[in-house]
Amino acid sequence: MNRDKILIINPGSTSTKIVVFNIETDEKVFETNISHSVEDLAVFERVSDQTNYRLETILNCLKDANIETTELVCVSARGGLVRPIPGGTYGINDAMCKELRAVEKEHASNLGALIGMEIMKMEDIPGYITDPVVVDEMMDIARITGIKDIKRIAIGHPLNCKAIARKTAKKIGKKYEDANFIVAHMGGGVTVGMHAKGVVIDTNNGLNGDGPMSPERAGGLPNSAVMDLVYKSGMSEKEIFKFLVGNGGLVSHLGINDARDVEKMIEEGDEYAKLVYEAMAYQVAKEIAALSASTKGQVDAIALTGGLAYSEMLTNWIKERVEFIAPVYIFPGEGEIEALYEGAKRVTNGEEEMKVY
């Protein structure tokens, strides 16, 4: 049987999304999102313990779709919380899987490589992860803060952002590795990064309180105000984190996290909703403009992506403030599945060298 298919595996906390592409035609031949009940998952003490259970559900789905694992040329999985590494496509190996089983911070994305390894063994095929969330390519000067023992770190959306930067490169007729792009991923969190000649030399930590506010996250805050909150609120460390990361941004100001609802409020004449929503756009624009300093103003293009990029109101506000720097391109949504496919395809076709973890 001809091996002409790539299996994509993207595990979520209560679901596993799988997609099968034909590498010869780039056609998506199968796609499904497998749901896992709380009861089914409750029997597993650790996330990594779910590996065989999720593998079995994947194999059953492929069988029902009349897709044989003998048709697979390789498997490509969502990267988990491995140690910080440069971007690229890495071969799944024993060292990677050993770390993912032992990692303290458990996350469903850790299952991607573990499941992939089992399929690799079954069919004697390669498996890959591409641009996991811990990609860290920041230049040293970007890590320094005003406190010696506190360093800026990279936690963002490298899988989608690097894929979008590559798409933007094609738009302007250049290679990703030969140009400079600022990419703003705007979703539940907002991360903005400078992709300089194929390397993300600076980016904000959109999870832990750095950069623009988002629908659910507070973003950067005045230090003294945070100190007052910590010492006077009586909240625990966990409660403070939830307050800043889950109940910040639009949730704090308006009580909602859906941009569509915010726009409806604005259309109905809510001036405060308009002020807050435009302030979020303003903060994203300021982050973009600030990053242009990292390449001394040499920016070939700016790209806006993520779920919030569907909002013309938001993207227009941002464009108005930053298009003096470089042309602005908009790619709504999150192309993570396509990014995993493209990463594996580049290595399979010899366009990119596989990195060894």
pLDDT tens digits along 323-344: 999 999 999 998 889 999 999 9
- What is the pLDDT at residue 206? 82
Give me the count of residues in the chain: 357
155 vs 83: CA distance, rounded Å: 12
End-to-end CA distance of the chain: 31
> Which residues neighbour 74 within 8 Å (Cβ) at sequence distance 6 or greater?
6, 7, 125, 126, 127, 128, 344, 348
- What is the pLDDT at residue 38? 85
**Three-state DSSP class for residue 101:** helix
Strands of the sheet with 15-22, listed across from one edge: 27-35, 15-22, 5-11, 72-77, 127-130, 89-91, 355-356
Q: What is the pLDDT of residues 158-183, one digit of tens each?
A: 999 999 999 999 999 999 999 999 99
Please, which pLDDT band fits residue 96 given cuts at 50, 70 and 90? very high
Tokens of 277: 């929503």
**Percentage above 70 pLDDT, the chain:** 100
- What is the pLDDT at residue 133? 82
Please, which pLDDT band fits residue 1 given cuts at 50, 70 and 90? low
pLDDT: which is higher, 128 or 106? 128
Ranges 122-126, 132-136, 205-209: which has the least confidence: 205-209
- What is the pLDDT at residue 159? 92
> 216: which DSSP letter?
S
- What is the pLDDT at residue 104? 81
Residue 184 has pLDDT above 90, yes or no: yes
**Per-residue pLDDT averaged across 210-215, rounded?**
94
> 9: which DSSP letter?
E
Q: What is the pLDDT of residues 28-50, one digit of tens each?
A: 999 999 999 989 999 999 999 99
Residue 209 has pLDDT above 90, yes or no: no
Cβ count near 201 (within 10 Å): 20
**Three-state DSSP class for residue 157:** coil
Ranges 53-62, 202-211, 318-327: which has the least confidence: 202-211
Q: What is the pLDDT of residues 144-156, one digit of tens each?
A: 999 999 999 887 7
**Per-residue pLDDT averaged across 275-304, rounded?**
98
- What is the pLDDT at residue 116? 98
**Per-residue pLDDT averaged across 78-93, rounded?**
93
Please, which pLDDT band fits residue 81 given cuts at 50, 70 and 90? confident
Helix residue ranges per DSSP H, the chain = 38-42, 51-64, 94-102, 111-123, 140-143, 158-171, 223-233, 237-245, 249-254, 259-267, 271-291, 312-322, 336-348
184 vs 308: CA distance, rounded Å: 10
- What is the pLDDT at residue 154? 86
Query: What predicted TM-score, i.e. pTM, was given to this entire model?
Result: 0.87
